[in-house]
Amino acid sequence: MAASQVALLGCGLMGQPMGLRLLQAGFPLVAYNRTPARAADLAAEGVVVHSRPDAAVAAADIILLMLSDAAAIDAVLDELPPGGLAGRCVIQMATILPAESRALAQRIRAAGACYLEAPVLGSIPEARDGRLLIMAGADSAADFARAEPVLAALGEQPRHVGAVGQGAALKLAFNQLIASLTAAFSLSLGLVRREGVPVDTFMEILRASALYAPTFDKKLGKMLGGDFGVANFPVKHLLKDVRLTERAVEDADLSAPWLPLLAGLLEQTATQGLADADYSAVYTAIAPECPGTREDAD
């Protein structure tokens, strides 16, 4: 059975490695990016990169959305002709609100297509190697089954986690943990450094405790060295996701008074020229001028 023709709409930080992975898995692929030159890696592999979404969608069975937010998705869909989605399966993989995903499902189904969301955990290396953790929200087993071959090329065990909206909620729940854990670790690290406690002592005790998370070691070197590099997941994207989580929390009638403060710290980090740096750069807003600690001075 021939692989489905896939149209990838959005070739940004994650879109390109996902497209390359689909090519490696044998899927015929076309792409759309408003600026085709930004999809140079795909073009170099022979993928036709269109500057209009209708041209990309025309021959596709599966449409994979990797656009920046719900507004960008709506803007692209507005460019499609009447009937442009009919009979196709649309997989939405960006981070958006549960309510936005449900509204998108209504719009796409009214246009005659199936819809599911499939946000992911993982970054560029996982996308390139097909190791993303995929959380699919689909309102029917049939919709998930239709999309599953494409999803399985991107992640070994894509999971049907529930209805449309529930995958989006899970994605925000995990990204809230990314932001909150990183900020909490930054504060603890800054405090022990200011007080001259050896970082090795702090980390040895932390690793032996129930408080430890592997992400702490993953980000420790960046925080100590002050080099936050070129990011797979930059400050500006985590800031966007924290703001989305604020809205989702409000919709769910939950209380999270620290999220506006966390968004403010990420915004402060971004305005210091670190918008495109690794999100662990939030440490610079929480523990400014650290080094400059007692242990560093001794």
CATH of the domain at 191: 1.10.1040.10
Decide if pLDDT at 4 tops 80.
yes
Q: What is the mean pLDDT of residues 27-33?
A: 96
Decide if pLDDT at 241 tops 70.
yes
User: For the whole model, what pTM was predicted?
Assistant: 0.93
Q: How many CA atoms lie within 13 A of 253 on its CB side?
A: 0
Domain end point (choices 143, 164, 185): 164
Do 24 and 154 sit in the same domain of this protein?
yes
Residue 1 lies in a domain: no
Do 27 and 141 sit in the same domain of this protein?
yes
**pLDDT confidence band for 59 (50 / 70 / 90):** confident
Q: Report pLDDT for 291.
A: 55
Q: Report pLDDT for 236.
A: 96
Do 113 and 75 sit in the same domain of this protein?
yes
Take residue 172 and report the two structure tokens written for it: 């925000």
Torsion angle defined by CA atoms of residues 50, 51, 54 and 57, in that order, rounded to the nearest 10 degrees: 30
Chain segment 134-178, per-residue pLDDT in tens? 999 999 999 999 999 999 999 989 999 999 999 999 999 999 999
Domain end point (choices 96, 131, 164): 164
- Distance (Å, whole) CA 172 – CA 1: 36
User: How many domains, the chain?
Assistant: 2
Q: What is the mean pLDDT of residues 200-218?
A: 98
Q: Report pLDDT for 232.
A: 85
Residue 85 lies in a domain: yes
Do 252 and 220 sit in the same domain of this protein?
yes
Domain end point (choices 134, 164, 194): 164
Decide if pLDDT at 243 tops 70.
yes
Q: Which residues pair with 63 in a beta bridge?
A: 7, 90
Residue 198 lies in a domain: yes
Do 154 and 40 sit in the same domain of this protein?
yes
Decide if pLDDT at 107 tops 90.
yes
Do 211 and 258 sit in the same domain of this protein?
yes
Residue 237 lies in a domain: yes
Domain enclosing residue 125, as ranges: 6-164
Do 191 and 235 sit in the same domain of this protein?
yes
Take residue 101 and report the two structure tokens written for it: 């995903």
Tokens 């989006």, located at residue:
168
Do 108 and 172 sit in the same domain of this protein?
no
Q: Report pLDDT for 230.
A: 78
Q: Report pLDDT for 1.
A: 55
Do 158 and 175 sit in the same domain of this protein?
no
Q: What is the mean pLDDT of residues 22-29?
A: 96
Looking at the chain, the whole-number percentage of residues with pLDDT higher than 70 is 97
Closest by Cα among 56, 55, 53, 58 to 74: 53
Residue 285 lies in a domain: yes
Chain segment 247-297, per-residue pLDDT in tens? 999 999 999 999 999 999 999 999 999 999 999 999 999 999 875 444 443
DSSP string, 191-206: HHHHTT--HHHHHHHH
Average pLDDT, the chain: 94
Q: Which residues of 226-236 are buried (b: 16+ CB within 10 A; e: fewer)?
A: eebeebbbbbb
Do 160 and 177 sit in the same domain of this protein?
no
Do 39 and 172 sit in the same domain of this protein?
no
Do 160 and 172 sit in the same domain of this protein?
no
Residue 272 lies in a domain: yes
CATH of residue 150 = 3.40.50.720
